[in-house]
């Protein structure tokens, strides 16, 4: 689903955006954006005034050509605003089309008794209802969202996630959810339907990525109310200026030099049209960036909350550590050499295909050049690890080697009448205090030493957490390890706090505690036991590979099922808020320059002293008005790429970031229009002289 292609680089997206820009000129669409609706009404008014001028009905204060120019610029301003929103929607619509093309109505093998695996009928997938059971075999598309109740199979989810590697879905555990529209590659599954047609995960994805169900967020609504209030104020100011101009002209005994067309131009230039035109595009683009990261947000509120999050709950495994413990050292005891310990350890690990077992063999080879014997040696008998024995090992030529948990190996040694090594006991405690996992190795009922298995902290994680701390975000590691191990890993990773031996109740209590203190909390989860905490968190990212309960409890779904995605989501949320704030600052700062362009042009006829305000040295009142309006329209187009891409976010303190953005977008918002309006005036003035 991820797509890094710029909307401007894709002709189909660009072409559709141009068409949609004209479609959005309907009054119903324009009413959704009050600020731009004011521009729309102004365009209608100036168009009507131009039409009247053709029949000799006009103010005789401005030429019909000038009125037409104002009308055209206002219509272009509306179109540019529509285009900004349409181009932001373009990528989502392209993604939605791709998803629709991958979805087809397939036949479902509906079961009456899931235990018998006998299809009672073949029905259309759309006819399945919540609670129904169906059988799906290799090569068939899964007809509906559901929960696997029997079987295990390899499933191709590329139609949803964009990842070509198949995944395993099986009954029980945290990988039992399947998505309609994905394809079974091997074996077969019995599935219970959890979502009916039209409410499936794929349907929700299509609706969200194309923006069809995008609701305005609370901050967006608040900002729009502010913009509407400013627009109303400017309407009242403009109306009062016309009345004041009329009164002053009558007092002076001259004709009022201020036309309705000019006052309309003043109103549009002073209204916050730049941010009004881009506000919707900024929100849609933020959702699109989240979609490109393969995260589906169930609401716009979620991504906005991500930007305000100041507490992150992060799983240790897969997020902070690599997820697989690795052999770090061989620690011999009681006179045994390190090489002898390594040889015994690698022999007992030869058939062990777990990452831990493979790492023991690799470490023995790297340190001592020890290579394992052939597994086909008829004199070698391997004992696999079991939950009951908690040991594994090998017997050969009358020799026994055992490797496992310290208490299990101790029982094995003492059962033969041998004492347990005190030096080994001390090493086991030391390894545990360091956050590692000790595996004890024994040969012929005698302790050889300890293997130190270590959770490997990911490269760069400590620096990443330091950046988050700079941003004012508190990081908390969630783990099932004991407190001693958890404390050691937390110290190495550089997190602010940890929750050891985490239970669903403990996670829920911690989230509520931070929320009661006024914090916004984000977390990830994939299991049914994570559902209560996900439902409580402000930003709850469920893994797509997880259970249906987790996905229903969360307000975001990570299609890649990557625990580290939460940090990226927070960055995207903060970037959205920054972009909106920066462009709002730039838009309002623009009004200062436009004020100096239009006010002198409008009222110098009544008050010649206002000429001192014409600091840009604009050629004439008409060129000043046209230049300001043209700039007002063009700046919308110029800022569309920034609205789509977002303002670059940096991990620095909030105060420093605010000062930087005020400097760039505040002072920049004042300086840029002064230069641009002057440049446009140099182009417009000669043209007006020829007309």
Known binding positions for ATP: 352, 356, 385-392, 403
Do β-strands 188-193 and 107-111 pair in parallel, antiparallel, or remain unpaired? Answer: unpaired
Residue 465 CB-half CA count within 13 A = 24
* DSSP summary character for residue 181: T
Residue with tokens 């004991």: 482
**The two three-digit tokens of residue 687, written as one number:** 């043209």
Residues annotated as part of the active site: 315
Vertex 449: Cα angle to 447 and 455 (nearest 5): 135
Nearest 5°: phi and psi at 60?
Answer: 60, 20
**SS (HEC) of 70-111:** HHHHHHHHHHHHHHHHHHHHHHHHHHHHHHHHHCCCCEEEEE
Would strands 399-404 and 437-443 be described as parallel, antiparallel, or unpaired?
A: antiparallel
Q: How far is it, in rounded angstroms, from Cα 69 to Cα 554?
A: 52
649, two tokens? 């976010």
Judge contact between 470 and 458, C-beta under 8 A.
Answer: no
Extract the runs of DSSP E, i.e. beta strands, from 19-178.
107-111, 119-124, 133-137, 146-150, 152-156, 167-170, 177-178
Binding residues: 352, 356, 385-392, 403, 526, 530
Q: Which of 506, 508, 481, 511 is nearest to 493 (CA)?
A: 481
Residue numbering of the annotated binding site for Mg(2+):
526, 530
Task: Give the Å distances, CA to CA, from 490 to 465, 509, 510.
Answer: 11, 20, 17
The dihedral through the CA atoms of 532, 536, 541, 544 has a sign that is positive
């Amino acid at each position: 689903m991820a797509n890094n292609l710029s909307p401007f680089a894709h002709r189909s997206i660009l072409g559709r955006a141009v068409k949609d820009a004209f479609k959005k000129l309907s009054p119903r669409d324009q009413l959704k954006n009050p600020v731009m609706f004011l521009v729309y009404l102004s365009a209608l008014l100036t168009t009507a005034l131009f039409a009247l001028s053709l029949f000799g009905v006009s103010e005789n204060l401005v030429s019909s050509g000038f009125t037409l120019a104002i009308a055209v610029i206002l219509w272009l301003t509306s179109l540019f605003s529509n285009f900004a929103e349409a181009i932001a929607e373009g990528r989502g619509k392209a993604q939605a089309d791709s998803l629709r093309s991958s979805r087809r109505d397939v036949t479902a093998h509906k079961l009456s008794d899931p235990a018998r695996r006998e299809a009672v009928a073949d029905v259309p997938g759309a006819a399945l209802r919540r609670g129904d059971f169906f059988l799906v075999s290799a090569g068939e598309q899964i007809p509906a969202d559901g929960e696997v109740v029997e079987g295990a199979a390899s499933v191709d989810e590329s139609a949803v996630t964009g990842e070509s590697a198949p995944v395993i879905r099986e009954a029980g555990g945290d990988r039992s959810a399947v998505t309609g529209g994905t394809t079974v590659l091997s074996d077969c599954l019995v599935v219970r339907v959890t979502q009916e047609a039209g409410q499936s995960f794929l349907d929700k994805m299509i609706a969200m990525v194309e923006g069809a169900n995008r609701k305005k967020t609370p901050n967006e609504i608040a900002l729009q109310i502010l913009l509407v209030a400013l627009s109303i104020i400017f309407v009242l100011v403009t109306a009062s200026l016309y009345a004041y101009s009329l009164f002053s002209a009558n007092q002076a005994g001259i004709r009022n030099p201020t036309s309705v067309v000019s006052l309309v131009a003043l109103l549009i230039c002073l209204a916050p049209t730049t941010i009004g035109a881009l506000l919707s595009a900024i929100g849609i683009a933020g959702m699109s960036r989240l979609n490109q990261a393969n995260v589906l947000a169930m609401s716009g509120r979620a991504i906005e909350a991500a930007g305000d999050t100041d507490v992150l709950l992060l799983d240790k495994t897969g997020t902070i550590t690599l997820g697989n413990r690795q052999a770090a050292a061989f620690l011999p005891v009681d006179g045994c050499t390190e090489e002898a310990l390594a040889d015994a350890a690698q022999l007992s690990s030869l058939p062990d295909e777990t990452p831990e077992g493979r790492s023991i063999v690799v470490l023995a080879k790297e340190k001592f050049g020890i290579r394992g014997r052939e597994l086909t040696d008829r004199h070698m008998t391997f004992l696999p690890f079991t939950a009951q024995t908690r040991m594994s090992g090998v017997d050969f030529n009358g020799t026994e080697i055992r490797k496992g948990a310290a208490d299990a190996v101790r029982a094995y040694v003492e059962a033969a009448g041998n004492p347990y090594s005190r030096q080994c006991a001390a090493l086991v405690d030391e390894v545990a205090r360091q956050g590692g996992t000790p595996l004890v190795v024994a040969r012929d009922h005698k302790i050889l030493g300890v293997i130190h298995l270590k959770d490997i902290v990911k490269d760069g994680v400590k620096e990443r957490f330091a950046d988050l701390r700079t941003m004012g975000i508190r990081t908390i590691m969630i783990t099932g390890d004991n407190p001693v191990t958890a404390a050691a890993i937390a110290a190495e990773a550089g997190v602010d706090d940890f929750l050891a031996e985490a239970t669903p109740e403990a996670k829920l209590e911690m989230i509520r505690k931070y929320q009661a203190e006024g914090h916004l909390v984000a977390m990830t989860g994939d299991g049914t036991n994570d559902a209560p905490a996900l439902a409580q968190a402000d930003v709850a990212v469920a893994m797509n590979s997880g259970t249906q309960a987790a996905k229903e409890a969360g307000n975001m779904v990570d299609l890649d099922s990557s625990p580290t995605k939460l940090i990226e989501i927070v960055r995207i949320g903060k970037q959205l808020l920054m972009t909106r704030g920066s462009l709002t600052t730039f838009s309002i700062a623009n009004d200062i320059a436009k004020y100096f362009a239009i006010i002198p042009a409008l009222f110098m006829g009544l008050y010649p002293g206002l000429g001192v305000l014409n600091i840009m040295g604009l050629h004439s009142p008409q060129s000043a008005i046209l230049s300001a309006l043209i700039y007002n329209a063009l700046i919308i187009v110029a800022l569309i790429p920034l609205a789509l891409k977002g303002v670059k976010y940096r991990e620095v303190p909030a105060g420093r970031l605010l000062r930087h953005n005020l400097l760039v977008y505040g002072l920049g918002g004042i300086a840029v229009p002064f230069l641009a309006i002057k440049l446009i005036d140099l182009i417009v003035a000669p043209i007006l002289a020829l007309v």
